[in-house]
DNA sequence: AAGATGACGCCCG
DNA sequence: CCGGGCGCCATCT
């Protein structure tokens, strides 16, 4: 298990949590999820979380603009799964206007911004 | 310890 | 619309 289970860093946990909040028939983006989780600049880590943690609604996570970021057959599968739950596409991208899920912001207050440098390894 | 990597994002031509 | 380039950040080699 050198690579296994691991990284349960707060970052991954928060991100998974956010992903789980996306309702069926709706989608979100890597960037938006990272932000909603409280880690604005960590879009890349959303992908990492999806890869490590199983049981997440991974098909609801898209790249900016509502485009599928995966390649090959995984991309086809993602599109298939999304359409199966009612999400519709406009060309190669999802009609975000109609299907993007907006994360609830606590008390109308936007997520706090990360100091710009990671708050994890930091101290 | 240093460099490379990645289910990303944004700006530019 | 598409490709190329640069920035982000925790992990991995």
pLDDT, average across residues A17-34: 97
CB A67 within 8 A of CB A92: yes
pLDDT tens track for A66-94 = 999 999 899 999 999 999 999 999 999 99
A54 touches strand C (CB under 7 A): no
CA dihedral A72, A17, A25, A40 (to 10 degrees): -70
A123 touches strand C (CB under 7 A): no
pLDDT-derived band at A119 (thresholds 50, 70, 90) equals low
Per-residue CA distances from A12 to A25, A28, A44, A51 (Å): 24, 17, 11, 11
Question: What are the residues facing A90 on neighbouring strands?
Answer: A93
Comparing C-alpha atoms, which of A76, A51, A68 is closest to residue A19?
A: A51
A105 touches strand C (CB under 7 A): no
User: Full-prediction pTM beyond 0.85?
Assistant: yes
């Amino acid at each position: 298990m050198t690579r296994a289970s691991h990284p349960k860093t707060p970052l991954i946990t928060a991100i998974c949590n956010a992903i789980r909040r996306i309702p069926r028939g709706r989608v979100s983006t890597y960037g938006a999820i990272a932000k909603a989780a409280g880690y604005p600049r960590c879009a890349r880590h959303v992908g990492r979380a999806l890869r490590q943690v199983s049981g997440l609604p991974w098909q609801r996570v898209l790249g900016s603009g509502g485009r599928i970021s995966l390649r090959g057959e995984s991309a086809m599968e993602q599109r298939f799964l999304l359409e199966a739950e009612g999400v519709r596409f406009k060309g190669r991208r999802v009609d975000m206007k109609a299907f993007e899920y907006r994360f609830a912001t606590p008390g109308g207050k936007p997520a706090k911004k990360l100091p710009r440098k990671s708050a994890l390894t930091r101290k």
